[in-house]
Chains A and B, each alone.
Chain A
């Protein structure tokens, strides 16, 4: 994938509380393929800069890298991602097992 074909790019880093939540978010979002062939997307989990120790457990940041042929395509794709991310975060915040247990 030549960078010149997809010159418009954006990286979105979403810091989450722990590796479990970051991994859950990634797995939920990566199921759906990008609709347009003019957009490329990659997900990864990265650690915080100041963290040390176990690499996997420190990967609490969901990194989404978008690249597209035009800025318009990039904007459309990233807007869609933000909408889905909203659902992911809201479910985490209000329906996770510990949240429900504390409310019952």
Chain B
């Protein structure tokens, strides 16, 4: 029963997870063993586990510590790396204690090779290399995006969905084909989460637990839909122009206060209205490019992964589109959609089970690592 430990630190979340992959059962787990089984041939009792179904997993530990910067600021690489250095050993120890595993139970040490922020990735990579040598366990470099996708597939059970991966650092629409996660559409400039986070700074919205979460709560009380550019470019999206415009609106709000009113109702425009406007606009764009990809590949399932995937309004809007196409939306809760170590352990273990490992001298990290660079040989 393979067990992996995964270390994740590509942005301001430091995650350590320990996962166990259970082997596929040889008979139906629901029915108790009957006298018939031994008398009958193998094909009746064998459980067909096609390669496309992810293995059953056990989350033995999933710990995370987030570096939160003060309102009005973002997290910078130097400070984030310092945070990760301060917390990595503590989290690894705690994770192993919670998982009740010893070094000899662990089969491989997985770490985020990229993409992400350089210095933070580096702090975690060094810790992983140390564990690889001190513990004498194989090292697996994992693509952060593939980690999100594989965790989403396993937790939700979605068979072959179009994946919308949306976070502070990434915005991609992905579909699986021939052992690669292929990018059908993406943000051309900044990620949607980056747009939301930077807007939060202008309004001094708290970064605790995450700026996007606080924008979501404020948006629930917003009613006025102001005009923002809508920048869908074919299969791709662009957010930097929208950010520039919404920041202008935020400065206007700060300057004019309650004298800026909604022409229709006369009520003053609030920061809740700005949050609402921004979410409705960018989420509609994401739904559009996701739908376009679904039409291209003939899928009707959508899996949303990444930190922005926690947003319930996005899930709701995507759900409306999917049900019009007789499909459904799959999403995970904050344990898995926000960056975490368990997804790195999971994707790493899948690769290790196919015979993959990363040599120490190749265990670098990189800010740019395309999702389709990874051979997904655990799927057919």
Question: What residues make up the interface of A, taking CB atoms closer than 8 Å to B?
Answer: 24-25, 27-29, 31-32, 83-84, 86-88, 90-92, 94-97, 100-101, 104
Asked if B92 CB lies within 8 Å of chain A CBs, one says yes
Interface pair B126/A28, CB less than 8 Å apart: yes
A94 to B82, CA, bound (A): 18
A50 to B191, CA, bound (A): 58
Asked if B129 CB lies within 8 Å of chain A CBs, one says yes
Task: Give the interface centre of A24, A87, A97 by most chain B CB atoms within 10 Å.
Answer: A87
Using an 8 Å CB-CB cutoff, how does the interface string of B330-369 with A read, 1 for contact, 0 for none? Answer: 0000000000000000000000000000001101110000
Contact of A97 among B81, B103, B361, B364 (CB under 8 A): B103
With a cutoff of 8 Å between Cβ atoms, the chain A residues found around residue B93 in the complex are 94-95
Interface pair B96/A100, CB less than 8 Å apart: yes
B274: shortest Cβ distance to chain A, in Å? 39
Interface pair A87/B88, CB less than 8 Å apart: yes
Q: Which 5 A-B pairs have CB atoms at the shortest separation, nearest pair first?
A: A91-B130, A28-B129, A24-B133, A87-B126, A90-B89
In the complex, 5 of the A-B residue pairs with CB atoms within 8 angstroms, ordered by the A residue number, are: A24-B134, A28-B129, A28-B133, A83-B81, A91-B130
With a cutoff of 8 Å between Cβ atoms, the chain A residues found around residue B361 in the complex are 31
Would you call the interface of chain B mostly helix, strand, loop, or mixed?
helix
Interface pair A83/B134, CB less than 8 Å apart: no
Task: Give the interface centre of B103, B126, B127 by most chain A CB atoms within 10 Å.
Answer: B126
A95 to B93, CA, bound (A): 7
With a cutoff of 8 Å between Cβ atoms, the chain A residues found around residue B133 in the complex are 24, 27-28
Excluding A27-B133, A87-B126, A90-B89, 11 further A-B contacts by CB distance (< 8 Å) are A24-B134, A25-B130, A28-B129, A31-B360, A32-B122, A83-B82, A87-B127, A94-B93, A95-B93, A95-B130, A100-B103
Interface pair A87/B134, CB less than 8 Å apart: no
With a cutoff of 8 Å between Cβ atoms, the chain B residues found around residue A31 in the complex are 125, 129, 360-361, 363-364
With a cutoff of 8 Å between Cβ atoms, the chain B residues found around residue A100 in the complex are 96, 102-103
Asked if B135 CB lies within 8 Å of chain A CBs, one says yes
A35: shortest Cβ distance to chain B, in Å? 8
Q: Find residues 97-156 in chain B having any chain A CB closer than 8 Å to their own CB.
A: 102-103, 122-123, 125-127, 129-131, 133-135
**Chain B residue at minimum C-beta to C-beta distance from A30:** B361
Contact of B134 among A32, A97, A101, A104 (CB under 8 A): A97
With a cutoff of 8 Å between Cβ atoms, the chain B residues found around residue A24 in the complex are 130, 133-134
With a cutoff of 8 Å between Cβ atoms, the chain A residues found around residue B88 in the complex are 87, 90-91
Asked if B379 CB lies within 8 Å of chain A CBs, one says no
Interface pair A84/B103, CB less than 8 Å apart: no
Q: Find residues 62-91 in chain B having any chain A CB closer than 8 Å to their own CB.
A: 81-82, 85, 88-89
B353: shortest Cβ distance to chain A, in Å? 24
Known contacts A31-B360, A31-B361, A95-B92; A88/B130 CB under 8 A = yes
With a cutoff of 8 Å between Cβ atoms, the chain B residues found around residue A94 in the complex are 89, 93
A94 to B94, CA, bound (A): 12
A86 to B361, CA, bound (A): 20
With a cutoff of 8 Å between Cβ atoms, the chain B residues found around residue A92 in the complex are 130, 134
With a cutoff of 8 Å between Cβ atoms, the chain B residues found around residue A29 in the complex are 126
Contact of B85 among A25, A27, A32, A86 (CB under 8 A): A86
A95 to B97, CA, bound (A): 12
Q: Find residues 226-248 in chain B having any chain A CB closer than 8 Å to their own CB.
A: none
With a cutoff of 8 Å between Cβ atoms, the chain B residues found around residue A95 in the complex are 89, 92-93, 130-131, 134
